[in-house]
Structure 1
Amino acid sequence: MGTVTPFPAAAAGKPSQTGFDRAELTRILDLYGRMVAAGHWRDYAIDLGRDAAVFAAFRRAAERPEFRIEKRPALRNKQGMWALIGEQGAVLKRGHELGPVLAPVERRLMKVVED
């Protein structure tokens, strides 16, 4: 008989990968779709790392992302696990819930309608 090698277990209490749940990803992709329809964004990328999950939205694929939406669960009890980061790397908004963090981007879609 051969030897059985155990499957490597994740560190105690720490997940091996951080990700978005279905409701969070639906909210983010809904915003992305509306921004594509408005002509602002053309591409996106998702990075699921050990410490953070990042959704990056691009005006063009060859540029830096215009916005990054980061989820860092380690900051849940401090500043809030959600952050909106601009093209230059500055944190534009941080919070405990996704909706208010996405608000500055959603405001770009609003248009004034005259009577």
Structure 2
Amino acid sequence: MGTVSPFPLARSAPSQIGFERIELTRILDLYGRMVAAGHWRDYAIELGRDAAVFAAFRRAAERPEFRIEKRPALRNKQGMWALVGEAGQIVKRGAELGPVLAPVERRLMKIVED
């Protein structure tokens, strides 16, 4: 007969951090509105061991204008969501995605009003 291996009881850390469907829907909705306004043209998603990053570009050959980062390790400290600007400065950080995306949404309102 074959050997039986025990079911692991200890929960190990995930090998890759990702976005949940609701989070990705919210981010892609904002991205689509910025594309419709003519402000963004490309995006990239990076799923790593420590963070999941959504980067939005004005043009594909540049640095991303904004990066939306999800770092679950910072959940109990500064909040797991961060909005990072083009130069690498943290624009907004928080525990919820909505308030972190607010500066970009305000910018979209200004673009539409002009």
Q: What is the TM-score when the length of structure 2 is the normalising length?
A: 0.87
Q: Percent identity?
A: 85
* Alignment-mate amino acid for residue 71 of structure 1: K
Instruction: Give the corresponding residue for 2:75.
Output: 76
* Alignment-mate amino acid for residue 102 of structure 2: A
1:31-50 equivalences under 5 Å are: 31-50=30-49
Looking at structure 1, the residues matched to 23 and 11 of structure 2 have their Cα atoms a distance apart, in angstroms, of 26
Instruction: Give the corresponding residue for 1:95.
Output: 94
Looking at structure 2, the residues matched to 33 and 80 of structure 1 have their Cα atoms a distance apart, in angstroms, of 25
Deviation per residue, 1:44-79 (Å, 9 max, x gap): 000000000000000000000000000000000000
Task: Give the deviation of 1:13 after TM superposition.
Answer: 2.5
Higher helix share: 2
Task: Give the deviation of 1:108 after TM superposition.
Answer: 1.0
Looking at structure 1, the residues matched to 12 and 95 of structure 2 have their Cα atoms a distance apart, in angstroms, of 21
Deviation per residue, 1:12-51 (Å, 9 max, x gap): 5310000000000000000000000001100000000000
Looking at structure 2, the residues matched to 57 and 43 of structure 1 have their Cα atoms a distance apart, in angstroms, of 6
Deviation per residue, 1:74-93 (Å, 9 max, x gap): 00000000000000000000
Instruction: Give the corresponding residue for 1:3.
Output: none
Task: Give the deviation of 1:109 after TM superposition.
Answer: 1.5
Q: Secondary structure at the match of 2:45?
A: strand
1:1-115 equivalences under 5 Å are: 12-111=11-110
Looking at structure 1, the residues matched to 12 and 80 of structure 2 have their Cα atoms a distance apart, in angstroms, of 18
Looking at structure 2, the residues matched to 96 and 12 of structure 1 have their Cα atoms a distance apart, in angstroms, of 24
